[in-house]
Structure 1
Amino acid sequence: MSRLETRKAVIGYGGTPIVHGVDVQIPDGKITAIVGPNGCGKSTLLRALIRLLAPIDGAIALDGQDIHSIPTREVARRVGLLPQSPLAPAGITVKELVARGRTPHQKVLRPWSSTDETAVMSALHSTNLTTIQDKVVDELSGGQRQRAWIAMTLAQDTPLMLLDEPTTYLDISHQYEVLELLHRLNERQGRTIVMVVHDLHQAARYAHHVIAMCEGEVAAAGAPEDVFTEELVSRVFDIDARIVPDPVTGTPIIVPAHGPGGAR
Structure 2
Amino acid sequence: MNELEAKDLRLHYGDRVVVDGMNLTLPGGAVTAIVGPNACGKSTLLRGLTRLLRPSRGIVTLDGADVHRMSARALAVKLGLLPQQPITPEAITVEALVRLGRHPHQRLLRPWSADDQAAVENALRRTGTDDLRDRQVDNLSGGQRQRVWIALALAQDTGLLLLDEPTTFLDLRHQLDVLDLVADLHAHEGRTVVMVLHDLGQAARYADHLVVLHDGRLAAAGAPEEVLDADLVRTVFGVDCRVVPDPETGTPLVVPRARGGRHTGRGDHVAVRA
1:50: Cα distance to partner? 0.7
Any gaps of 5 or more consecutive residues in structure 1?
none
Using the TM superposition, name which of 28-37 and 91-100 deviates more: 91-100
Amino acid at match of 1:259: R
1:64 aligns with 2:64: yes
Q: Distance in 2 between matches of 1:256 and 1:202?
A: 15
Aligned to 1:222: 222
Instruction: Encode CA deviations 1:170-226: one digit per residue, 9 max, x unaligned.
Output: 222222222222222222211111111111111111111110000111000011111
> 2:154 aligns to what SS in structure 1?
helix
1:120 aligns with 2:146: no
Aligned to 2:272: none
Aligned to 1:167: 167
Aligned to 1:187: 187
Amino acid at match of 2:5: E
1:245: Cα distance to partner? 0.7
Judge conservation of contact 1:15–1:56 (CA < 8 Å) in 2: no
Instruction: Encode CA deviations 1:113-169: one digit per residue, 9 max, x unaligned.
Output: 222222212222322333432333334444332221111111111111111111122
> 2:150 aligns to what SS in structure 1?
helix
Judge conservation of contact 1:97–1:152 (CA < 8 Å) in 2: yes
Aligned to 1:74: 74
Any gaps of 5 or more consecutive residues in structure 2?
263-274
TM-score, length basis structure 2: 0.89
Larger radius of gyration: 2
- Percent identity over the alignment is 54
Q: Distance in 2 between matches of 1:259 and 1:134?
A: 49
Aligned to 1:110: 110
Q: Distance in 2 between matches of 1:97 and 1:29?
A: 28
> 2:161 aligns to what SS in structure 1?
strand
Aligned to 1:9: 9
Q: Distance in 1 between matches of 2:19 and 2:6?
A: 11
Judge conservation of contact 2:60–2:66 (CA < 8 Å) in 1: yes
Q: Distance in 2 between matches of 1:29 and 1:2?
A: 7
Judge conservation of contact 1:2–1:25 (CA < 8 Å) in 2: no
Q: Distance in 2 between matches of 1:178 and 1:10?
A: 31
Judge conservation of contact 1:143–1:177 (CA < 8 Å) in 2: no
Aligned to 2:28: 28
Amino acid at match of 1:34: I
Judge conservation of contact 1:31–1:209 (CA < 8 Å) in 2: yes
1:83: Cα distance to partner? 0.8
Q: 1:3 to 1:198 in 2, by over 3 A?
A: same
Amino acid at match of 2:257: A
Q: Distance in 1 between matches of 2:138 and 2:183?
A: 26
Instruction: Encode CA deviations 1:206-261: one digit per residue, 9 max, x unaligned.
Output: 11111000011100001111121111001101111101111001111111122353
Amino acid at match of 2:69: S
